[in-house]
Structure 1
Amino acid sequence: MSVGLVLAIGLSPQGSSAATQGDATAPDNGFSAAGPWNTPLPADVPLAPNSQAIVNNLVQDKQNNSGLWAINTDTYSAPVYTVGPDTPVQQWTYSDCQNMPQLAPVIAGSLAAVPTPPGMLVSQGTDESVAIYQPATDTYWDFWRAQQDASGHWSACWGGEIEHYSTNPGIFDNPLGASATGLPLGASLIRVDELRRGRIDHAINLETVRTQAGCFSWPATRDDGNTPGADIPCEGQRFRLDPAFDVNTLIDPAARTIARAMQQYGLILTDKAGAVVTQAEDPRPFEATDGGIDPYNQLFDPTGTGLLPESLTRYLVMAQIPLNRLQALPLNYGESGF
């Protein structure tokens, strides 16, 4: 995942997930129904003129980097904590891990008063991402390289705060936000509860190895693209799974649920990664209240037994969905619709 902080004035990072403090109910993403994440795609959506060439580059990234389309859960994804009004508030510190002191005033407001639940976890891997939502204040935060010191004090290298969360389209003000595109981690994450009910009512994310240098597409507000070329996908670009693909041919119920969301709402390219990946919320907060049981072990197991090894189920679920049947939408698709 992204380890750089790309901003219009300098830089930004990535990651996210959902768990409710005190219970294991993951809500829908909560952003505006009229925003890009929650707006279904019409049947006659236009495609980019070079759609197939762009998708061919995604397939090449997959082939050249492990040969798999993976799903990230507890590593290079993020937990999302939905916290109550009495959650302890802490003033976080800007850690400046990228030696950019000029950004301290930019993020100061986002760090000033963060409801920080005891025992909070961040994603494994170098991103160390986390997202926090407080319904009582209708406010959302996500952070990159979030760390707690021995005294219990938290810091982050980047991130941001969104006020009036429920009416926000799911876009941080530039240059805030933990992802390299300024797109909230909590907007796209596949949630445990969504897989349990068999329905995802929002676009999901896509990350790949090569993204087009100097190019971002709405709803992204910036990019950290690394590769020149008109047929390289742009960060923020929207995709969908070909609606002619028969989702019912997929063996795994979770794969069918994810594929239907890809057809109905699409995917948005939110960041770079070391492989072709999609993110699901971190299961560890669920494990903490559910006897240490990882819900994905059963949700991603086509046998329904929960007995297949995690190393296998994490790759089998996305491997069933044909990456070559994705379709790229035109740059800035839907921008005027909000």
Structure 2
Amino acid sequence: MPTPTHRRRLALASAGLMLGALALAGCGQDEPAAAPAATAPPSEATTTPATEGDTGTTGVAVAAREDVFSVLSPWNQPVTDAPVHIGSDYMLRAAQLRSGVDRDGRVVRTLITDQFYINTEAWTVPVVSGGVPTALVCRQAQCGDGSGELVVAVPADVDPDPRYDGWMTVFDTERNVAYDLWRARREEDGSISYQYRRDWDLDGPGFSQPYLVSARSSGLPLFAGLIRPGELERCEINHALAIAVPGPAAGNFVQPASATNGNGLPKSLPMGARIRLKAAYTPVDPVDRRTGKALPFTAEQSRLAGCLLTALRTYGAIVVDRAAVPTLFFQRLPQDTPKLLQGYELQQLDLTDFEALDFSASDRYEYPSQDDDLGTSGLDADLDVNSLDDTPVEAAP
């Protein structure tokens, strides 16, 4: 595992570098746009501290390294003293608006008051390292950073799940590269085929230059901001978390995002924006909203929830995707692994418990570029979000 000094040197060497990413939704994704060739940053994979130096070819799966990206990466920067955006309240309220289309083809928007959920199995990412030599094979002529066949160590008992866009991240301990896969599946011969691959330097900045796509809709790494089991058990989450929201801004993003599939109000919280839990927030035990009865909540669940709240106050969360409700992501583990989280540990939170951190209007990148059709939701940018209730509202003509 790289030492802090080693990571700092790598960070300085790569401080000007920005990585690549694509478009995908928190509950389903469109076909990735073709990624600009030869512009993806070098990628690296990692070893766990207990297996440092393992080549990954022994056939034994190891825990993938947790300390990813340089110390200068936005993912690794605390934000306890960062200023709040003047439009924070509006953006967070707007981000609660989920857009859809009715049977007549008209855009409707619904205010989502459902509280936070943590994905632990569906729509989250397995991160693997070590195992048996396995061929990663591109199923089409162009697959982002992937072409032809690449052999890397992968556990034989961990497969991508095609029901959830076949997300998977493989840490290559020999090349020190992480491979994010999209629409991946395990084939009968044991190989893993995929439709898109993005390679990431794990000692790099953890994001791409604008307009580069990845396996996630924001252009960010699939594994960036994941809640990892080891760090959660130790209560040592030293990075920003990844979050998906119902209505991220349509037609624009801010860095570290490099793309977007947002379909919300144009002035909503954009992909790449960072939010921080308010210091005054007081934890509340989760309750079944249908019955009003308390949900099972053990002392250990309370402890783990406290660890997550500390991370959200210290490092915040970066908007990486869209989802039906505000969603965080826990690393998907093999089914026989004891569950650390049930998913509702932070159910008491909603987006109004957060504040959006400052960025300027010029930080919003138009997406696609101004020469292309933005394909926005058609919703009114000046909508008074505070006037909405929980019922669907037709879009302005």
**Normalised-by-shorter TM-score class:** 0.7 to 0.9
The DSSP-based 3-state class of the residue aligned with 1:254 is: helix
Q: Which residue of 2 aligns with 1:40?
A: 78
Q: Tell me how large the CA RMSD over aligned residues is.
A: 3.2
One of 148, 160, 172 as aligned partner of 1:134: 172
One of 242, 245, 254 as aligned partner of 1:208: 245
- Equivalent residues in 2 for 1:1-338, closer than 5 Å: 1=26, 2-5=28-31, 7=33, 22=60, 25=63, 27-43=65-81, 45-61=82-98, 64=111, 67-83=114-130, 87-95=132-140, 104=142, 106-109=144-147, 112-117=149-154, 118-123=156-161, 125-162=163-200, 164-166=201-203, 168-172=204-208, 175-230=212-267, 232-246=268-282, 252-284=302-334, 287=335, 292-296=336-340, 300=341, 313-315=342-344, 317-331=345-359
Q: Which residue of 1 aligns with 2:371?
A: none
TM-score w.r.t. structure 2 length?
A: 0.65
- 5+ residue gaps in structure 2? 1-25, 37-45, 49-55, 99-109, 287-298, 364-397
Q: Is the 8 A contact 1:107 1:176 kept in 2?
A: no
Q: Is the 8 A contact 2:134 2:192 kept in 1?
A: no
Aligned residues: 291
Q: Is the alpha carbon distance of 1:322 and 1:3 closer, same or farther for their aligned partners in structure 2, counting shifts above 3 Å? A: closer
Deviation at 1:271, TM superposition (A): 1.0
Distance of 1:201 and 1:332 partners within structure 2 = 26
Q: Is the 8 A contact 1:76 1:124 kept in 2?
A: no
Amino acid at match of 1:119: D
- 5+ residue gaps in structure 1? 11-17, 96-100, 301-312
Q: Is the 8 A contact 2:134 2:190 kept in 1?
A: no
Query: What do the CA deviations read for 1:32-57 (whole angstroms, capped 9, x no partner)?
Result: 111010111142x1112110111123
Q: Is the alpha carbon distance of 1:151 and 1:24 closer, same or farther for their aligned partners in structure 2, counting shifts above 3 Å? A: closer
Distance of 1:91 and 1:48 partners within structure 2 = 43
Query: What do the CA deviations read for 1:164-191 (whole angstroms, capped 9, x no partner)?
Result: 422x111246534211112112221001
Q: Is the 8 A contact 2:249 2:262 kept in 1?
A: yes
Amino acid at match of 1:199: E
Amino acid at match of 1:169: P
Q: Is the 8 A contact 2:273 2:318 kept in 1?
A: yes
Q: Is the 8 A contact 2:243 2:328 kept in 1?
A: yes
Worse overlay, 221-230 or 254-263 = 221-230
Percent identity reads 23
Amino acid at match of 1:268: I
Deviation at 1:19, TM superposition (A): 10
Deviation at 1:274, TM superposition (A): 2.7
Deviation at 1:159, TM superposition (A): 2.7
Distance of 2:313 and 2:63 partners within structure 1 = 25
TM-score w.r.t. structure 1 length?
A: 0.75
Q: Is the alpha carbon distance of 1:276 and 1:19 closer, same or farther for their aligned partners in structure 2, counting shifts above 3 Å? A: farther
Deviation at 1:8, TM superposition (A): 8.0
The DSSP-based 3-state class of the residue aligned with 1:314 is: coil
